[in-house]
Amino acid sequence: SHWSGSSLAGDMAAFQRPALFSAPASKASPHHDLPLVRLTVLGAAGCGKTCLINSWVNNFCPAAPVQTEDPTLYYRTVRIPSPDGDAEAAPWTVFVEVEDTYPWGWTTGEDCYGQPYNSNNFLEGIGKSSSSGWFHFHKERPMSASEAPSRTSYSPMTLHRMGFLAVFDATKQESLSVALGICERLLERRGGGGGAGELPAIYLVGNKTDEGPLHDEFRKIVGAAKAFAARNKISFVEVSAVEFTRVRKLFRDVVEELACAGLDLSKAAVDSPVLDTETSGAEQGFGWGLGALALRGFGW
């Protein structure tokens, strides 16, 4: 099944290392190492999943969003504070694969890869540890070790799904109901206790907060979401993809949580490449979207 395989080959065999952060490449080596994590974004139709992803990856929110009909992969790097808590330590660079999905619950038809619509596919391949990826590439040719996009196979670079964003339209009760159902499914699969540090990371995300913060229905929906998150010990975040409100913080927080989940920092190291095209405070990175024979973002 193309839902669980990796498209990397050759020197990407080290992709399956047991630690999220790899040992640094030799100074004489032209290759660079990056930890690689995947975030999967789920939700009902119209909740703003694609807009949210583009707001973070491309600093752009489509004025006239088109409904996502096929799984789409987006990429960007993000720098986070050193997970060991050392304020003087250099930031760590993480390579993030963001998985956009079609509306939750679609069952009729198939995507462009010939796979029947089935949202349950996005709940498979959940990583049970913080180790799930290692990205090894040539400094001058990023992503050169991976296969080109294809219309016949869906090939994420990561082996597992580690973080989930269950997104809902904060002005619609039915959208919240779908997101809560997704979270319940994820909590069942995670099992055991809850709270930060448990994998996979689960975030309940209320989008479109710019559309009705003063309406009684909006406050009721957000209140219900907060109560659910508190009861189940998961994170709840209110964002606006259109106004870019708390979007960067959301993704950075998820990545930081994954980076700190069960790592043996005494053995962790990263040789971070200089690939940044954007700077905002402590966060720097580059990004693009990878669909069926489509590259979007910074012209890669």
> What are 181-208's pLDDT values in tens digits?
999 999 998 875 555 557 789 999 999 9
Would you give the DSSP letter of residue 110? Answer: B
pTM above 0.75? yes
Would you give the DSSP letter of residue 121? Answer: G
pLDDT lower than 70: segments of the chain: 1-33, 127-149, 192-197, 262-300
Q: Alpha helices, DSSP H only, in 137-210?
A: 173-190
3-class SS at 249? helix
Omega into 200 within 30° of 0, i.e. cis? yes
Q: Are 226 and 170 in contact (CB under 8 A)?
A: no
pLDDT tens for 43-99 read 999 999 999 999 999 999 988 888 999 999 999 988 888 777 777 888 888 889 999
In 3D, which of 273, 260, 267, 286 has the Cα closest to residue 34? Answer: 273
